[in-house]
Amino acid sequence: MNPFAILSLPKEPPANFRKYLPLLLAMAIFMQMLDTTILNTALPQIAADLHTSPLNMQSVLVAYTLTLALLTPISGYLSDKIGTQRIFLLAITLFGLGSILCALAPTLSMLVLARVIQGVGGAMLTPIARLALIKSFDKADLVKALNYAIMPALMAPIMGPLVGGYLVEVVSWHWIFLINIPVCMVCFVAAWRFMPNYIEPTTRIDLLGIMLFGSAAFFLTIGLEFMGTTSLPFALFTLCLGSALFYSYYRYALNHQNAIYPLSLLSVRTFRIGLNGNLFTRLGVSAIPLLLPLLLQISFGYAPSEAGWMIAPMAIAAMMTKPILQRLLRTFGYRKILMSNTVMVGILMALVACHTPTSPKWLLIAHFFILGACSSIQFASMNTLTLADLRKYQNTSGNSLMAVNQQLAMGFGIALGSLILRFYQNHEILTQGNTQLAFQYTFISIGIITILSSLVFHRLHYRDGDGLAHRH
């Protein structure tokens, strides 16, 4: 029996469905981004309630980002086979179910499992809504529709830390997940009424390639998770297994032109450099959403809402830098911007170690604001350069690989930041059991890692990206 037969969907969407599709995409992106950022300020309180150390909470973040990375590539295939509307309804149902299970989780292990379920829905949520939008609008109206959908979602990173902090203090941490349910219900009804059910029955998918690539990413992430624990032999085994699987995918892709991520993509120099830059730069930067809330609450003693107010300026700065980015790139070029800005981001991360519980709040806010602005410049520059020189037939696979690379880098970065913090915390000869000193050493370490990642961009030519920088 077809599991989707119970969904007696309307055969055709109403005549005015294009009016509501951008709003549906906006709600999906907003909910997903809010869910990602709202959790960070609540981690110490969740850890206390689940009777575990806040330093073990990175698995809650990694489980979600890793699930997104592994399942996002197949979302388009599923929608083409089963239909955009049906898959979106399934995605919103899984995301809502995962949110409820997160709120009910009695242990850390159950919370991680619930985040995986939530991630399965999240992996299909935004890509399917965007795909439906792309198929519903002609090129002349598509950019306007996408911009309309993205603008409300830009508020989510600002609201997330604040809403999370206040919910933890006023109600309980469970509500940072339950807040998703009303939005899920609205999205479900809107998708039922207004989303077309586009199907492309001729679509094929490289299942073996996805399994090899996904398994490699999974085992490498698990290996990083267990490094620095008593399970060191297991960590080394999974790291070796993940590396072997990546090599297996490389050999497989050499002989299969239709591999999900063709190796021909890597022959495009700017794509290869941008991909490496995205990976290595994010190893340090992706640890910030985990480490900053822990520093402010555990080491500095701030309340969750105070920590939220301190972190929110990073997202505000990210929004404010977008209008000036094109001018910066036009003036200095991609090579100079990426080389110098990467070093600046690393220095700003390392300088967090200079702050103490008595540091003025205005100084912390100013520091985080500048860090947010430089991080935004970094990500936007890397992303646009990575896709700049791809040929038309490479756009789909290149964009997918870049998105997966970003999710994996975020997972690796969170795991690496937690690993470094645990290392300093467990070696009293370095920190004498001083938690603040452990945080200071950790920020210096990830700052150095980020500074070293600037070497990737030395291979750029000074004219690379000129066509993008002078567009408009």
Q: Work out the mean pLDDT of the chain and round it to a whole number.
A: 83
pLDDT of residue 112: 92
Q: Is the pLDDT of residue 470 over 60?
A: no
Q: Is the pLDDT of residue 365 over 50?
A: yes
In this structure, which long-range contacts are made by residues 107-113, counting pairs with CB atoms below 8 Å and at least 24 apart in sequence? 107/50, 108/47, 108/50, 108/52, 108/56, 108/57, 108/59, 108/60, 111/46, 111/50, 111/60, 112/59, 112/60, 112/63, 113/63
Q: Is the pLDDT of residue 422 over 70?
A: yes
CATH 1.20.1250.20 is held by the domain 267-472: yes
| CA angle centred on 439, ends 438 and 440, rounded to 5° | 90
CATH 1.20.1250.20 is held by the domain 1-7+14-204: yes
CA distance 336 to 381: 11
More confident residue, 394 or 242: 242
Q: How confident is the model at residue 152 (pLDDT cuts 50, 70, 90)?
A: low
CA 299 to chain centroid: 26
Mean pLDDT of 67-94: 85
> Which of 47-51, 86-90, 365-369, 425-429 is least confident?
425-429
CA distance 441 to 424: 7
Q: Find the DSSP H helices in 199-303.
A: 207-226, 232-254, 269-285, 288-294
pLDDT of residue 1: 38
CA distance 165 to 172: 10
More confident residue, 332 or 344: 344
In tens, the pLDDT along 246-294 reads 899 889 988 887 788 888 888 888 888 988 988 899 888 888 888 898 8
| CA angle centred on 35, ends 216 and 283, rounded to 5° | 40
Whether the CB-CB separation of 291 and 424 falls below 8 Å is answered with no
> Which of 17-21, 392-396, 399-403, 457-461 is least confident?
392-396
Q: Is the pLDDT of residue 96 over 90?
A: yes
pLDDT of residue 136: 78
Q: Residue 189 is encoded by which pair of tokens?
A: 């009804």
In tens, the pLDDT along 218-230 reads 888 888 777 766 6
Q: How confident is the model at residue 143 (pLDDT cuts 50, 70, 90)?
A: low
Mean pLDDT of 413-436: 83
Q: How confident is the model at residue 139 (pLDDT cuts 50, 70, 90)?
A: low
Domain borders along the chain are 1-7+14-204, 206-259, 267-472
Q: Is the pLDDT of residue 343 over 90?
A: yes
CA distance 282 to 413: 6
Whether the CB-CB separation of 307 and 397 falls below 8 Å is answered with no
Mean pLDDT of 149-168: 77
pLDDT of residue 6: 39
DSSP code, position 2: -
Q: Reduced to 3 DSSP states, what percent helix, strand and coil does the chain have, rounded to the nearest 5? A: 80, 0, 20
pLDDT of residue 389: 77
Mean pLDDT of 59-72: 84
More confident residue, 135 or 187: 187
pLDDT of residue 335: 87
pLDDT of residue 5: 44
Q: Is the pLDDT of residue 452 over 60?
A: yes
**Residue keyed to tokens 């480490």:** 291
